[in-house]
Amino acid sequence: MGCFSFDAVKTVTAGEGGMVITHDRDLYTKAAEYHDHGHDHNPKVPRGLEKRSFIGMNYRMSELQGAVALAQFRKLESVILPAQRKNKARIKEALAKIDQIAFRDIPDPEGETATFLTFFLPTAQKTRAFNKAMAEAGAGAIYWHENYWHYYEQWEHLLEGKSLMRTGYPFKTESGQVRRSYAKDALPKTAEILSRTLSIAINIHMDQQIPKILSAIEKAAKAI
């Protein structure tokens, strides 16, 4: 199965929602039922009177969001991807002139969506200095090592075992014993890589933004 998000920063957006794709009819049926309270979607039975094969959740996106997503899909190959790839190429060309910067390997360059331009510097110190200079020029990048949403070591809710459940589940048993715990330094290799990683978000409307980014890159190069 393939899973896709349609939130505001994705290549195709409907504001919220998402999609799963599969060639397996059984998996499709289970996914369709699970995201709709487990309803079996029997067309011969009125809504609300169907049976259920298992417990499901309410993960449905609205019809309006679906219509927006379909309109976006029609522009994907002709407008969205070409614009993102063009914008990414312009910025990457400027970064490639800096000999201390390296880029991640893209296994399928022709199929790459160009949503982000990710690059690496030799050390964490140089990475912070580079991004600080970019931010001061009004075009700071995403520094994943200090990102509270995407980086494991910043997940205080997981590391500290925070829960709304009275028992502390899933971190504690009903009797209060520790059930699951997570150490902050559990992923040292990941931490080292992300301490040297920066990303620039790419979208289709960057005509006014790109000159500022290019200028910021030029200034940041002098900081390392």
Name the band, by pLDDT with cuts 50, 70 and 90, for residue 169: very high
Could you tell me if 134 and 222 are in contact, meaning their C-beta atoms sit under 8 angstroms apart? no
Q: How many residues does the chain have?
A: 224
In a domain, 47, yes or no: no
Q: Residue 61: enclosing H or E segment and its boundaries?
A: none
Q: How many CA atoms lie within 13 A of 60 on its CB side?
A: 11
Q: Tell me the residue range of the domain where 187 lies.
A: 76-221
Within-domain flag for 30: no
**Rg, Å, the chain Cα set:** 22
Please name the residue that has the structure tokens 């490639």. 96
The answer to whether the CB of 29 falls within 8 A of the CB of 20 is no
State the pTM of this model.
0.85
pLDDT for position 48: 83
Check whether 47 has a pLDDT greater than 90.
Answer: no
Q: Which residues contact 75 (CB under 8 A, 6 or more apart)?
A: none
Tens digit of each residue's pLDDT (9 = 90 or more) over 110-144: 899 999 999 999 999 999 999 999 999 999 999 99
Strongest mean pLDDT among 44-58, 78-92, 143-157: 78-92
Average pLDDT over residues 163-191: 94
Nearest in space to 17 (alpha carbons), one of 30, 29, 6: 6
Percent with pLDDT over 90 in the chain: 87
Tell me if 16 is assigned to some domain.
Answer: no
Residue 45 domain flag: no
Q: What CATH number should be reported for the domain holding residue 87?
A: 3.90.1150.10
Closest by CA to 195, choosing from 110, 122, 137, 135, is 122
At residue 153 the predicted structure's pLDDT band, cuts being 50, 70 and 90, is very high
Q: Output the CA–CA distances (angstroms, integers) from residue 212 to 96, 137, 198, in the order listed.
A: 17, 8, 17
| CB-CB contact of 145 with 195 (8 Å) | yes
pLDDT of residue 9: 82
Residue 40 inside a domain? The answer is no
For the chain, what is the domain count? 1
- Ramachandran angles phi, psi of 191, nearest 5°: -60, -45
Average pLDDT over residues 181-206: 95
- Whether 46 is covered by a domain: the verdict is no
Exposed/middle/buried for residue 135 (C-beta within 10 Å: 0-12, 13-18, 19+) = middle
35 inside domain: no
> Within a domain: residue 62?
no
